[in-house]
Amino acid sequence: MNLRRIALAGALFCLFALLSATVSAAQVPGSLVDTQWLRDNLDKVVILDVRKDVKSFEKRGKQAGAVNPCGVTRQKGPLKVAGHIPGAVLVPWNKVTAKRKVAGKALKALVPAKSDFERLMRKSGVDNDSAVVITSKGEAVVHMALAARLFWTLKYFGFDNVALLDGGTAQWIKAKQKIAFGRSRAEKGDFKATAERSEILASMEDVEKLAEDQGTGQLVDVRSTEEYLGLTASGKLAPGIKGHVSGAKSFPVSLYADSFTATLYDKDRIKQAAVLFKVDTEAPTVFMCSSGVMASLAWFVAHELMGNENARLYDGSMHEWSHSDKPVVSMKIE
């Protein structure tokens, strides 16, 4: 009897190991997935839900954009996301980027130290052989940008089996999928950074060179037209500084994604819009914004969807540039 039990236990262990290997070997089909794909693969991926409003992950709330039986949204206001996709792990936004001093200046929203990011991903249940899908609340384009910044950071540290959920959790709700509530739970992962890919990160020195010699590539500023022209400025810039880096082209992030659904536009339509703004989608490009968040979404579209391997993100963006007393120009479209 004992031998039979041992044999049975051994067989069960092998079956469990085989199933675990199958899950760990899952591959995302591309850098962007939709609700349908995630629903069909829910048990094969690690879902990271990045948000600033961490309380909305746990608590129930009124969802204004309810979907009626005909599938039409009764939109009395923006969809308010409460809860999360079953199995999702909360990643607080304030853990995704880092604050540190550069040349004596206290800066925000920079790429984190490798050890800090490894710790965050392990706490979030990510292994090196995981398949990861990143979601956000999806109420607005900025939420997709938060997800894109986490995506970029995983890529920077050498992790490739990762995708964004187009439209985030809001699209999951609109598709009438189940929503969970309560705290985030995850078994500790073994994530370890395998690289620090400098080829997708631009420094302030890189931006200075591009500003001086635009023949080697292009700077693309994805802030609003008002910010680009210097009519207004984000609070992330140094006091009194308005405008853009000399030579930077304007291509607002609102042209990358639908402001009503937070889903990305078709890449061919984005290319058509880029032509109108004199932006070359195939040229070596550094994307920037106020603090490197919204520009992450532009980088994602260029690098991951359009295949521009020479696309980089300036994580310091105008926050670092303005606090370093660098020159800006205003009331000029380039």
The structural domains of the chain, ordered by start, are 26-174 (3.40.250.10), 198-323 (3.40.250.10)
pLDDT score of 77: 53
Residue 63's pLDDT band (boundaries 50, 70, 90)?
A: low
Question: Is residue 270's pLDDT more than 60?
Answer: yes
Question: Is residue 65's pLDDT more than 90?
Answer: no
Residue 104's pLDDT band (boundaries 50, 70, 90)?
A: confident
How much is the mean pLDDT over the chain?
A: 89
pLDDT tens-digit map of 143-201: 999 999 999 999 999 999 999 999 999 999 999 999 999 998 899 999 999 999 999 99
For the chain, give the percent of residues with pLDDT over 70: 87
pLDDT score of 75: 44
Alpha helices in 281-330 (DSSP H): 294-299, 317-323
Q: Which residues contact 313 (CB under 8 A, 6 or more apart)?
A: 152, 200, 201, 202, 286, 287, 288, 292, 295, 296, 299
How far is the CA of 263 from the CAs of 32, 141, 207, 286, 330, in angstroms? Answer: 10, 8, 29, 23, 31
| CA separation for the pair 103, 298 (Å, rounded) | 28
Residues 237-254, mean pLDDT to the nearest whole number: 96
Q: Tell me how far the alpha carbon of residue 287 is from its chain's centroid.
A: 14
Question: Is residue 6's pLDDT more than 70?
Answer: no
Residue 62's pLDDT band (boundaries 50, 70, 90)?
A: low
Question: Is residue 12's pLDDT more than 50?
Answer: no
Residues 291-316, mean pLDDT to the nearest whole number: 98
Residue 171: Cβ within 10 Å count: 20
Question: Is residue 73's pLDDT more than 80?
Answer: no
Q: Please state the pTM of the whole predicted model.
A: 0.88
Rounded to a whole number of angstroms, the distance between the first and last alpha carbons of the chain is 82
